[in-house]
Amino acid sequence: MMPNKTALPANSVAKSQVLDPTKSPPPNSGPSRPNLTTSGPNATPPAPAANNLLAALPRTKRGSWRWQTAVFCWLVLVVSLAGLLASLYVVSDRVQTFQEIEQVAVPSINAANQAEQSLSAEVSANASYILSDANTRQTLLTQIERDRADFESALETGYSSLASANTANPSVAAASDYLNQHNQALQDAFALARGQADNNDQKSATTTYLKGRDTYYNPIIYTIYYLRSIYINQLNQAKDAASSANILQLVLVILIVIATVGLLLLVSLWLTLKIKRVFVPLVNIGFLIAAGYAIFLVVSLVNSSGNLNRVVSAYSQTSLLSDSQRILTDAASDQTQWLIAKSGGVNGFDIYAQDFKTQTGHLLVVPSNPSDGQCPSSNAGRASYQPTGEMGDVCRSLLSDNQVDAWNNFYNAYTAWLQADTQFRSTANGNATNATTNALAFLNSSNVTQSFSNMSSNLNQLKTANTQIYANNSNDALNQLNLATILTWAVYPIVLILGIAGLLRWRREF
């Protein structure tokens, strides 16, 4: 017997009674459905027009598109702001480095170099004073007073610039006290020596001058050297810091500009795909502006690194040249000191002849074949230049080919001066009654003074060239970086406006 089929409950719907959407639903069949009609409150809206893309799209796609637009707008805003801040940071950091060099390091180094040269010139003039006649002494006294004033002025400038170097040990104050104490003692000794010379007490004048010079001069010079080294060191540290930061900053800038330009490119492509247009005016313009700015910024930063290296090299070389001038002056002083000690019967006067050789060795060691000492004209040649000494270092680090002539002119005058020194010694050691007078006259002769003058002139020429290199590179870098700053303030807001406006504008396109 087959089981009875269970009858359907009263409210159930038979399979044959599945709802036909074109027909009214059966009673009690569930929630009612809207009755789609073409008029009345429940009328079905008409089919969308062909160009009403938004209305024609399904709700989900329409929401996604709007969401993407909003996201791109926010991205453009965020990237523009980030780009603005990052670019300003990098550029201002680089500008600050150059400004600190210009406002602090350069004046300090200049002041130290000036003080060094003024003092060495003053010492040399005092040495000449001992041996000179009354007329010449008056001229020398004027020179001494001028050198003294220059020295005091340079120190004052140096101290004010060094006030910020409060972490130095010994402190700037301690160095200042030390320098003043020895400077005063040196001045007292020189004043006493000049007075004794005026009273024709040559022996006492010689002893007083030599003792003062030997005891106090080097401590002053090397205290100035110490103070200058603080700032040269900071100059090199700034260069090293900039070099190490350069890579990071450059990467940061490149990432930011890639993000900005890339985002605008992405927006352009996205819009092109969506609205089927190749050219999206506002966004494309924004992209071109951003791309142009990015290239300019990267080039500016790379150039500024090169400028910074040349700035530091140029100023380090001015210190080498200043030391060279001081050594040259000291060597010339040694000639006079040797003569006054020898003529004054001072024991151990040969020490000044030896110091002359020590100083000239520090200045530049002339090869046995003097022509081998010329500074080569090529970079490669200069890099392998052998002779030692301060001027040897200068040759090896010359920054431009037109400085080579000045260096070689210095060298020619230097070798002539050394040859004249040999003649000077033999004159002083001669048996003539007026050997000392003759030797002094030889020292003051036009040949010897002209050689010395030529050397000083060429050193000044090299210093001027380096100062010009520094100024050119510093100005170039600052000009470019300042322009980068202005462009940064202008470009990113423009990019922001163009990007967002371009994104929103498409809605009115259709």
Partner 1 sequence: MLLRNRFAGKRLIAQTAALILSLSFSLLILSACGTEATNSSASYTPVNYLAGDTPNLLPTVVPTPLDNTPANGQTIDVYSSLPLTGSSQNESQPVVNAINMALDDLAGPNHTVAGFKIVYQSLDDATAAAGQWDANQEKINANKATSDPNAMVYIGTINSGAAKISIPILNQAHMVMISPANTYPGLTKSVEGVTAAGEPQSYYPTSPHNYFRLIATDDLQGPADVQFAANNLKAHSAYVIDDGQDYGKGLADAFAQQAPKNNIKIVGRSSITGQEATYQDLANKIKTAEPEMIFFGGIAQQQPGKLLADIRAAGVSVPFMGGDGLTDQTFQRESAVAGEGAYASISGVAVDKLPAKGQSFVQRYDAKYGAGSYSKSGPYTIYGYEAMAVALSAIEQAKQPNRLAILNAVAATKNFNGVLGNWSFDSNGDTTLTTFTIYQVVGDNYQFVTEVKPNTGS
Residues in contact with partner 1 by CB under 8 A are: 167-170, 174-175, 178-179, 215, 218-223, 225-227, 229-230, 232-233, 236, 320, 323, 348, 350-351, 353-355, 357-358, 361-362, 388-390, 393
Nearest approach in angstroms of CB 270 to partner 1 is: 51
What gap in Å lies between CA 97 and CA 92, rounded to an integer? 9
When the beta carbons of 224 and 294 are compared against partner 1, the nearer one is 224
When the beta carbons of 131 and 224 are compared against partner 1, the nearer one is 224
Q: Kindly give, in sequence order, each residue whose CB lies less than 8 Å from that of residue 223, ignoring residues fewer than 6 positions away.
A: 175, 178, 179, 182
What gap in Å lies between CA 303 and CA 154, rounded to an integer? 33
Phi-psi region of 365 (alpha: psi -120 to 50; beta: other; left: phi over 0): beta
What gap in Å lies between CA 470 and CA 280, rounded to an integer? 47
What gap in Å lies between CA 211 and CA 194, rounded to an integer? 13
When the beta carbons of 142 and 388 are compared against partner 1, the nearer one is 388
Neighbours of 420 (CB within 10 A): 20
Question: One-letter amino acid identity for 206?
Answer: T
Nearest approach in angstroms of CB 260 to partner 1 is: 38
Nearest approach in angstroms of CB 471 to partner 1 is: 23
C-alpha dist (Å) from residue 339 to 130, 192, 194, 198, 431: 10, 20, 17, 18, 15
Nearest 10 degrees: CA dihedral of 412, 418, 421, 426? -110
What gap in Å lies between CA 96 and CA 107, rounded to an integer? 16
Nearest approach in angstroms of CB 336 to partner 1 is: 18
Helix spans in 132-171 (H): 134-162
Nearest approach in angstroms of CB 388 to partner 1 is: 5
- Residue 46 main-chain phi, psi, to 5 deg: -70, 165
Nearest approach in angstroms of CB 441 to partner 1 is: 24
When the beta carbons of 225 and 506 are compared against partner 1, the nearer one is 225
When the beta carbons of 177 and 198 are compared against partner 1, the nearer one is 177
- Burial letters 439-474, b for 16+ CB under 10 A, else e: bbebbeeeebeebbebbbebbebbbebbbebbeebb
Q: Is 38 exposed, middle or buried (0-12, 13-18, 19+ CB in 10 A)?
A: exposed
Nearest approach in angstroms of CB 337 to partner 1 is: 15
What gap in Å lies between CA 394 and CA 363, rounded to an integer? 10
Nearest approach in angstroms of CB 296 to partner 1 is: 35
When the beta carbons of 284 and 324 are compared against partner 1, the nearer one is 324
When the beta carbons of 146 and 396 are compared against partner 1, the nearer one is 396
What gap in Å lies between CA 49 and CA 214, rounded to an integer? 104
Nearest approach in angstroms of CB 257 to partner 1 is: 34
When the beta carbons of 320 and 484 are compared against partner 1, the nearer one is 320
When the beta carbons of 194 and 425 are compared against partner 1, the nearer one is 425
When the beta carbons of 381 and 389 are compared against partner 1, the nearer one is 389
Nearest approach in angstroms of CB 225 to partner 1 is: 6
